A and B are shown apart, each in its own frame.
Chain A
């Protein structure tokens, strides 16, 4: 069973921030929150990950609530190329850890 819950779809206007929520109420203390995305008919792409602190990289920001039961992926200035399925995954980290993909959120960025 998936450990995360995400809305099935979201729309966002190009240039605006896209905020993608994820619920992971059963997360354990040593599990990380990962975000990947999959553009149609391509392999998934790593975006960002975090444990409990907020994280930012060149692609996105990850905001994790203090109780760690939910998080939000923020794409600050969405473009048409950000249209994809976004997967929030909760897993242990370390060598050989497999990822369990849920159904994800289909983000559609429009003009």
Chain B
């Protein structure tokens, strides 16, 4: 099956710094990628949708200047958490959708971000 990777799998950073998370589709081209956030014991919350070569579409309440998303190629999307604060500590998960199998999203393993 299709594989999506995320890097890093976990990261600890200090308050005020920025963190970049990469999401890669390893064996298919992802026309659309999604970024989710999940707090402990809660469900996944969609943050934004990104299409290759265009600006991301953010969900209501998600600050686009704080969560920068770049989808520069059909296999790579990045999420940068700028000026991170402890409340940004969460599990960040990306997913990718192939143009050939639009009914199925392939999820990455997630990135655990802890801001101290």
A binds B: yes
Chain B neighbourhood of A42, CB < 8 A: 109-110
Give the distance to chain B from A107, nearest Cβ to Cβ, in Å: 15
CB closest chain-A residue, reference B31: A95
- Most central of A34, A44, A97, A103 by chain B CB within 10 Å: A44
A99–B56 CA distance with the chains assembled, in angstroms:
16
Chain A neighbourhood of B6, CB < 8 A: 43
The answer to whether the Cβ of A29 comes within 8 Å of any Cβ in the partner chain is no
A96–B105 CA distance with the chains assembled, in angstroms:
10
Chain A neighbourhood of B99, CB < 8 A: 95
Q: A95-B97, A96-B97, A100-B46 are in contact. Are A41 and B31 (CB under 8 A)?
A: no
CB closest chain-B residue, reference A42: B109
Interface size class on chain A is: 20 to 34
- Total B residues in contact with A, Cβ cutoff 8 Å: 27
**Are A32 and B103 in contact, with the CB atoms below 8 A?**
yes
**Are A46 and B102 in contact, with the CB atoms below 8 A?**
no
Give the distance to chain A from B47, nearest Cβ to Cβ, in Å: 10
| B interface residues, Cβ below 8 angstroms from A | 4, 6, 31-32, 34, 36, 43-46, 49, 51, 91, 93, 95, 97, 99, 102-110, 112
26 example contacts (A-B, Cβ-Cβ < 8 A) are as follows A32-B103, A34-B103, A41-B112, A42-B109, A43-B95, A43-B109, A44-B93, A44-B95, A44-B107, A46-B105, A49-B104, A87-B43, A94-B102, A95-B32, A95-B97, A95-B99, A96-B51, A97-B97, A98-B34, A98-B46, A98-B49, A99-B46, A101-B44, A101-B46, A102-B43, A104-B43
